[in-house]
């Protein structure tokens, strides 16, 4: 009788080992790419277990205090911040497109989120503006990134403002939303002064559910926004 030919050894174990090696290698490469992109200022997802300090402050301190001050019975009726909109105008982008790329990079580093390019809605001949030209960059922050930006803005950036005497309560729009105009974006320490030496103005809008200016100011003041105190006029003798 003919001898049985020896069977080839199973390759399942080897294939399983190679798949694990490939997964480990791809994970290592992904981590390297994230590290390099973080250095360049790219957006990286926030960790799932990351706790935002300002969110905990609102839930544990600000909300109970507002319920007491405003005589509210339900926590859902307490005013809260819904979003923060940051806008940077780039008028020179119609002549130098690199200025737009630089503004996008700066806003990405400041907000931690990729901005949206805003284009002209109509042509204006006096300003040499045509419809569809890029003229600004905008970003809308919600959730954890919103509270993270608010924390950095109040605790780090506001004290770096030149001749700052407090936020004027007249910046409210009548429905509890605060609109602030900044002269220069260099107050944010994340901006690289060597790459963007030119100071750019920006507008920041804090959108709330307050409904009126008094509640909106109380909310932002409890969360750390420094408002300008009214000057007491001395009585004339």
Cβ-based neighbours of 57, under 8 Å, separated by 6 or more: 223
Q: Answer whether residue 193 is part of any domain.
A: yes
Has residue 159 got a pLDDT over 60? yes
List, in sequence order, every residue forming a beta bridge with 136; answer none if it has no partner.
89, 118
Q: Answer whether residue 5 is part of any domain.
A: no
Q: Answer whether residue 209 is part of any domain.
A: yes
Q: Answer whether residue 78 is part of any domain.
A: yes
Has residue 32 got a pLDDT over 60? no
Q: Answer whether residue 171 is part of any domain.
A: yes
Whole-angstrom Cα distance, residue 25 to residue 131?
48
When pLDDT is averaged across residues 205-231 and rounded to a whole number, the result is: 90
Q: Answer whether residue 44 is part of any domain.
A: no
Q: Answer whether residue 230 is part of any domain.
A: no
pLDDT tens digits, one per residue of 73-131: 898 999 999 999 999 988 777 677 788 888 899 899 999 889 988 887 777 776 666 77
Burial class (CB in 10 A: 0-12, 13-18, 19+), 81: buried
Question: Helices marked H in the chain — which ranges?
Answer: 12-40, 53-57, 63-69, 97-111, 143-152, 213-222
> How many other C-beta atoms are found inside a 10 Å radius of the C-beta of residue 213?
18
Q: Answer whether residue 9 is part of any domain.
A: no
When pLDDT is averaged across residues 225-236 and rounded to a whole number, the result is: 71
Domain residues for 200? 59-222
Has residue 178 got a pLDDT over 60? yes
Q: What's the pLDDT score for residue 184? A: 86
Q: What's the pLDDT score for residue 193? A: 83
Predicted confidence band at 13 (pLDDT cuts at 50, 70, 90)?
A: low
Specify the number of domains making up the chain.
Answer: 1
CATH number reported for the structural domain that contains residue 148 in this entry: 3.30.1440.10
Going from the C-alpha of 83 to that of each of 62, 102, 139, the distances in angstroms are 17, 24, 10
Whole-angstrom Cα distance, residue 44 to residue 47?
9
């Amino acid at each position: 009788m003919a001898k049985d030919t020896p069977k080839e050894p199973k390759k399942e174990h080897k294939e399983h080992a190679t798949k694990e090696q490939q997964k480990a290698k791809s994970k290592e490469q992904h981590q390297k790419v994230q590290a390099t992109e973080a250095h360049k200022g790219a957006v990286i997802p926030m960790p799932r277990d990351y706790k935002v300090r300002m969110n905990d402050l609102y839930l544990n301190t600000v909300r109970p205090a507002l319920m007491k001050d405003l005589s509210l019975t339900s926590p859902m009726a307490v005013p809260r911040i819904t979003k923060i909109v940051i806008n940077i105008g780039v008028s020179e982008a119609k002549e130098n497109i690199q200025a737009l790329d630089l503004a996008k990079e700066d806003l990405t580093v400041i907000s931690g989120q990729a901005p949206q390019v805003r284009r002209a809605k109509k042509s204006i001949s006096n300003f040499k503006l045509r419809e569809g030209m890029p003229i600004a960059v905008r970003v809308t922050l919600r959730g954890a990134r919103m509270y993270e930006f608010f924390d950095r803005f109040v605790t780090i950036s506001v004290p770096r403002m030149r001749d700052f005497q407090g936020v004027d309560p007249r910046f409210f729009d009548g429905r509890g939303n605060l609109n602030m105009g900044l002269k220069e974006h260099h107050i944010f320490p994340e901006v690289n002064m060597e790459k963007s030496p030119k100071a750019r103005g920006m507008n920041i809008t804090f959108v709330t559910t307050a409904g009126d200016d008094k509640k909106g100011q109380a909310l932002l003041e409890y969360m750390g926004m420094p408002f300008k105190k009214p000057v007491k006029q001395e009585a004339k003798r």
